[in-house]
């Protein structure tokens, strides 16, 4: 068998991650259109993932968040997205490199993507352009930051009963305690 020196598999994964990036960039600018909402699953151990120690202990390997009604300050860069959510009434800020994504699903149109993570940590680190806290270069695009409450209108689909609620303000400055949910990826994998 011949060796794939071009690595089409990695190029395809990168292209699919750019689909998620583009969608989140549009949502950061204009909010969620219609009934669209997203289940986003990521590896909490991946390089560059930033979340509180409390969330890291609760989700040591994988976490799925739902962006629907209530989230705030969605910021999208070339390599990461950052979002505010509330878990159990406690506001949290998550920073997720696109290289850490494991799944993306929009149940409103039954569109989903699954990603393979790099085979080892050194490969994952090579895909990151710079440390997360490093200043952007002069020619790097500025992150897009919308006004608070960029959100959609539909009701959240029910999820597994042992999940925790994540929420953020729907209007400028508000941060109510209900909204999106953290669920296991299996919740939407087996739906028809």
**pLDDT by residue, tens only, the chain of 192 residues:** 889 899 999 999 999 999 999 999 999 999 999 999 999 999 999 999 999 999 999 999 999 999 998 899 999 999 999 999 988 889 999 999 999 999 999 999 999 999 987 554 334 344 343 333 333 333 344 444 332 333 322 223 333 323 333 333 322 233 333 333 344 445 445 544
**For residue 84, what are the contacts with CB-CB under 8 A and spacing of at least 6?**
71, 72, 73, 91, 92, 93, 94, 168
Q: Distance (Å, rounded) from C-alpha 29 to C-alpha 8?
A: 32
The pLDDT, as a whole number, for residue 69 is: 85
Which of the four CATH numbers 3.30.70.870, 2.40.30.10, 3.40.50.300, 2.30.30.220 does domain 8-128+143-189 have? 2.30.30.220
Rounded to two decimals, the pTM is 0.64
What does the alpha-carbon distance between residue 46 and residue 41 come to, in Å, rounded to a whole number?
Answer: 12
State the sign of the Cα–Cα–Cα–Cα dihedral 109, 82, 43, 168: negative
């Amino acid at each position: 068998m011949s060796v794939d020196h071009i690595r089409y598999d990695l190029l395809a994964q990168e292209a699919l991650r750019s689909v998620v990036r583009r969608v989140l960039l549009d949502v950061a600018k204009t909010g969620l259109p219609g009934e669209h909402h997203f289940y986003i699953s990521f590896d909490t151990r991946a390089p560059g993932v930033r979340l509180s120690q409390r969330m890291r202990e609760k989700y040591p390997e994988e976490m799925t968040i739902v962006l629907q009604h209530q989230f705030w300050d969605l910021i999208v860069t070339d390599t990461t997205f950052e979002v505010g959510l509330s878990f159990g009434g406690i506001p949290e800020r998550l920073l997720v490199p696109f290289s850490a994504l494991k799944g993306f699903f929009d149940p409103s149109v039954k569109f989903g993507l699954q990603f393979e993570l790099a085979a080892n940590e050194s490969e994952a680190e090579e895909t990151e352009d710079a440390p997360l806290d490093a200043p952007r270069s002069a020619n790097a695009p500025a992150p897009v930051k919308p006004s608070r409450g960029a959100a959609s209108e539909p009701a959240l689909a029910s999820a597994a009963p042992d999940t925790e609620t994540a929420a953020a303000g729907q209007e400028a400055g508000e941060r109510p305690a209900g909204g999106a949910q953290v669920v296991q990826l299996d919740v939407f994998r087996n739906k028809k």
